[in-house]
């Protein structure tokens, strides 16, 4: 698709000025920046051959591209320019196209906002993930069980978000969610295996800690089991091209037997995964290695497993009493990761962080989170301020048979 030249793309100064004004409709945080600050950030993405060198794809073509697994699988995590990790070319090209299309009017603002969001700190566009698919909506009854004020709207202009303000925004939603879980656990009347799935920086680790305190305060014994401790050695997984989320990556039979035993009230011995050495305490047959130190887990009223895929595998899902997906929109989670992983933990190279986030959100949603949303009991949508429940769960919460 060619560009209808209503704007002189050769005039970089005028292009930047027009883009600055248009981008205020894409991300309200742009209004916080001075035009000069916006232009400073834009310098890093201006094409060497000028904006007029960017040919635009059609909107339907772009939609197909950003909704394909192949596109995200092609994104490189650590492309280099010399010794420096840089942003993947495909990501840069998409952002440049959206900039040019916005200024020339080829791409309407409403269309861009529907399919993309703009991260000011990374200064790039990312695709909006649709978590509430038709299948998910049908499973959850088509409408939320309970609505709260979507207080995360206050973060629209923020470039990074700390946990304290994130927690305060979710306070009423979280309280109601914990009430629901406590009621479901009470109705269970025996050892409860509670699985909480959720994307990175959605807040699942923090809500798990608060749930543990809630149950302890109700005089319930509580324990946790980490699925990652059942991973096989990384060298084995990498040598065989095994994804860390697949059943082949885990000591699956050992994991299943441990879950069954602890649900039966028995003390269990689990593998211990060394995250620094990336090795398991157990060999490929699930036997303790010489010198390996396993973990001992006592039985409890509430057994909690938390992670990316605590009930993705059918064999595991059959054992999980209460299945929860704790969800926060990608845009908010990215702002949390800027603060948590980049400012505080200093965990990643910046370009690697940007490449990885762009790549993984769609892939993980399609292969991990959405499939779990299709079978879960509750979805906590912290960004939308909603709690969704399956029909069966709704009947339990309302004490209907």
pLDDT tens digits, residue range 109-124?
999 999 999 999 999 9
* Cα gap 138→140, rounded to integer Å: 5
pLDDT at 1 over 50: no
The answer on pLDDT for 401 being more than 80 is no
* Rounded percentage of the chain residues whose pLDDT exceeds 70: 98
Query: What confidence category does residue 2 fall into, taking pLDDT thresholds of 50, 70 and 90?
Result: very low
φ, ψ for residue 270 (rounded to 5)?
Answer: -115, 160
Provide the 8-state DSSP code for 231.
B
Q: What are the pLDDT digits (tens) for 139-155?
A: 999 999 999 999 999 99
Residue 46 has pLDDT above 80, yes or no: yes
Token pair for 397: 């919460």
- The token duo for 253 is 């039979």
Helix and strand counts by DSSP (H, E) for the chain: 17, 15
**Residue 189 pLDDT grade (very low, low, confident, very high; cuts 50, 70, 90):** confident
In Å, what is the CA distance from 112 to each residue of 23, 52, 87, 99, 280? 10, 20, 21, 10, 46
Q: Which pLDDT belongs to residue 11?
A: 86
pLDDT tens digits, 355-368: 999 999 999 999 99
Return the higher-pLDDT residue of 66 and 9: 66
pLDDT (0 to 100) of residue 374: 98
**How many Cα atoms occupy the beta-carbon half-sphere of 104 within 13 Å?**
24
The CA distances from residue 47 to 65, 95, 145, 336, in Å, are: 22, 11, 48, 30
- Per the listing, tokens 């990761």 go with 337
Greatest mean pLDDT among 20-29, 187-196, 229-238 lies in 20-29
Please provide residue 222's backbone torsions phi and psi, each rounded to the nearest 5 degrees: -135, 145
- Tell me the average pLDDT across 20-33: 96
Q: Which domains does the chain possess?
A: 12-127 (no CATH), 131-221+302-401 (3.40.50), 224-299 (no CATH)
Q: Is 285 within 8 Å of 251 (Cβ atoms)?
A: no
Q: What is the mean pLDDT of residues 370-385?
A: 98
| The pLDDT value given to residue 400 | 59
Across residues 359-388, what is the average pLDDT? 97
In sequence order, the 6+-apart residues with CB closer than 8 A to the CB of 117 are 27, 125, 126, 128, 330, 331
Query: Among 365, 182, 340, 191, which residue's Cα sits nearest to residue 261?
Result: 191
Mean pLDDT of the chain: 93
**What pLDDT was estimated at residue 276?**
84
Judging by DSSP bridges, how do beta strands 80-81 and 84-85 pair with one another? antiparallel
Reported confidence tier of residue 88, pLDDT bands at 50, 70, 90: very high
pLDDT in tens, 58-85: 999 999 999 999 999 999 999 999 999 9
Cα(78)–Cα(58) distance, integer angstroms: 29
Cα 15 to chain centroid distance, Å, stands at 34
Angle at 64 between CA 62 and CA 68, to 5 degrees: 120
What average pLDDT does this structure show over 9-28?
Answer: 94
Report whether pLDDT(270) > 70: yes
Average pLDDT over every residue of 125-134: 97
């Amino acid at each position: 698709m060619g560009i209808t030249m209503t704007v002189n793309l050769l005039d970089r100064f005028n292009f930047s000025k027009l883009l600055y004004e248009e981008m205020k409709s894409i991300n309200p945080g742009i209004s916080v920046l001075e035009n000069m600050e916006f232009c400073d950030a834009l310098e890093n993405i201006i094409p060497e051959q000028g904006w007029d060198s960017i040919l635009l794809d059609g909107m339907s073509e772009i939609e197909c591209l950003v909704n394909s697994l192949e596109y995200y699988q092609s994104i490189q995590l650590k492309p280099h320019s010399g010794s420096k990790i840089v942003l993947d070319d495909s990501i840069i090209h998409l952002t440049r196209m959206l900039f040019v299309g916005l200024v020339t009017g080829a791409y309407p603002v409403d269309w861009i906002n529907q399919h993309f969001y703009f991260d000011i700190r990374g200064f790039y566009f990312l695709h909006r993930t649709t978590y509430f698919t038709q299948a998910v909506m049908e499973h959850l009854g088509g409408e939320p069980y309970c609505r709260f004020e979507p207080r995360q709207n206050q973060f629209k202009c923020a470039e990074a978000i700390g946990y304290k303000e994130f927690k305060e925004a979710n306070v009423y939603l979280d309280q109601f969610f914990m009430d629901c879980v406590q009621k479901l656990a009470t109705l269970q009347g025996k050892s409860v295996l509670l699985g909480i799935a959720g994307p990175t920086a959605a807040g699942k680790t923090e809500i798990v800690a608060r749930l543990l305190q809630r149950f302890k305060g109700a005089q319930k014994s509580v324990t946790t089991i980490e699925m990652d401790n059942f991973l096989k050695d990384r060298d084995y997984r990498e040598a065989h091209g095994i994804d860390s989320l697949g059943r082949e990556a885990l000591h699956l039979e050992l994991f299943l037997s441990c879950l069954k035993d602890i649900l039966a009230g028995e003390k269990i011995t689990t593998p211990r995964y060394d995250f620094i050495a990336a090795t398991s305490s157990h060999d490929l047959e699930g036997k303790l290695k010489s010198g390996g130190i396993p973990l001992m887990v006592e039985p409890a009223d509430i057994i909690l497993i938390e992670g990316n895929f605590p009930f993705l595998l059918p064999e595991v899902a059959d054992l999980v009493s209460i299945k929860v997906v704790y969800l926060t929109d990608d845009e908010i989670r990215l702002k949390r990761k800027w603060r948590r992983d980049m400012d505080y933990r200093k965990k990643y190279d910046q370009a690697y962080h940007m490449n990885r986030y762009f790549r993984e959100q769609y892939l993980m949603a399609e292969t991990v989170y959405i499939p779990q949303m299709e079978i879960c009991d509750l979805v906590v949508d912290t960004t939308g301020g909603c709690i969704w429940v399956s029909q069966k769960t709704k009947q339990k919460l309302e004490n209907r048979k």
